[in-house]
Copies of this chain bind each other. A is one copy, B any other.
């Protein structure tokens, strides 16, 4: 009696118990795929990721999986290797097996995404596509905080280590960093595009030196760490000679020497939120006709395609120090212990905070001498 599972309240408690007991005995478990065939709801979600091995993604994947399972959904994962063609194939291949797809793929064109969204409900992560639900992290705000932190420390010559061409995130960072530098009356040189990897950072060390910048904001932590390594090879010390700020706050950032000052993006929250948005939409707007007339994806035009923006935070660690134009009442020798922490009132614009998740760290994140 299938009703015991699908509509338990409509069944006589006694009958239900008998069925349940029997099912227990036989080890019976409903076949979700068969159920999906008629209900049109698979209870599966697709998660398409540009590069699983990029340390930025695992926390997002973990959070999405956890949230999905809590709502009785399973996650299909797929890695596109940053290849847009693979992304499209994947969406097609998964379409019939999932109730929706979370798309974390910077490379695909907006128009293609819109087209795919007619085949299967989509939530895009870290980019914005008109008419589609999206969850983005406010890297623009983060970049602004980073620039304000650096100019507040007395840096006047900044560089931005750009990420890959065509990345939504990269555009946001660039736009916002440029604006913030202008406001603070500092110069900002944009270097790039670059591959968003450690190697990309290492390779740019020489150009950073030539640019004359005393402070650098990198597209992500991996590049920042690579840059620090490259600068080290050139004999430039961080933060004494050059300050470096990353973006993402991957786990790695607090394990390098010096510990990286970086813009923390809430990746876990993004994963959870994306799942919630998908399921919310799936429940109301994208419901499929279970029977009669085949599979109809009702893409209601009045749907509220919420675009959630998650806040970012500046985490100040050890890779940033005072610059040449530091206020006179501070020591000019950019020794790490001398630099003002963002938590001090002297630097109101930075919104910095000691990293709360680092209870085991041996040294405090923000050193206010």
Task: Give the interface of A toward B (CB within 8 A).
Answer: 27, 29, 31-34, 36-37, 42, 44, 47, 51-53, 55, 57-59, 61-62, 65-66, 69, 74-79, 81, 92-97, 119, 198-199, 202-203, 225-226, 229-230, 232-233, 251-252, 255-257, 360, 362-363
Contact call B362/A31, Cβ cutoff below 8 A: no
CB contact between A75 and one of B69, B77, B119, B229 (< 8 Å): that residue? B77
A348 to chain B, nearest CB (A): 32
Q: Can you list 26 residue pairs at the A/B interface with Cβ under 8 Å? A: A27-B119, A31-B96, A33-B33, A33-B36, A33-B37, A34-B37, A37-B37, A52-B58, A52-B61, A52-B62, A53-B62, A55-B55, A57-B58, A61-B79, A62-B79, A65-B77, A66-B79, A66-B81, A74-B93, A74-B94, A76-B77, A198-B255, A232-B362, A233-B362, A252-B252, A256-B256
- CA gap between A76 and B92 in the complex, in Å: 17
Contact call A360/B55, Cβ cutoff below 8 A: no
Q: What are the 8 A-B residue pairs with the smallest beta carbon separation, nearest first?
A: A257-B257, A233-B362, A199-B360, A33-B33, A52-B62, A77-B77, A31-B96, A53-B58
- CA gap between A73 and B92 in the complex, in Å: 14
- CA gap between A32 and B46 in the complex, in Å: 15
Q: Which residues of B contact A76 (CB under 8 A)?
A: 44, 74-77
Known contacts being A62-B53, A252-B252, is A97 close to B32, with CB within 8 Å? yes
Q: Which residues of B contact A52 (CB under 8 A)?
A: 58, 61-62, 65
- CA gap between A38 and B233 in the complex, in Å: 62
Contact call A74/B65, Cβ cutoff below 8 A: no
* A226 to chain B: closest residue by CB: B360
Q: Which residues of B contact A47 (CB under 8 A)?
A: 77
- CA gap between A94 and B59 in the complex, in Å: 22
- CA gap between A248 and B57 in the complex, in Å: 20
Contact call B229/A33, Cβ cutoff below 8 A: no
A2 to chain B, nearest CB (A): 15
- CA gap between A93 and B70 in the complex, in Å: 13
CB contact between A74 and one of B53, B66, B97 (< 8 Å): that residue? B97
CB contact between A58 and one of B31, B58, B92, B256 (< 8 Å): that residue? B58
- CA gap between A230 and B255 in the complex, in Å: 12
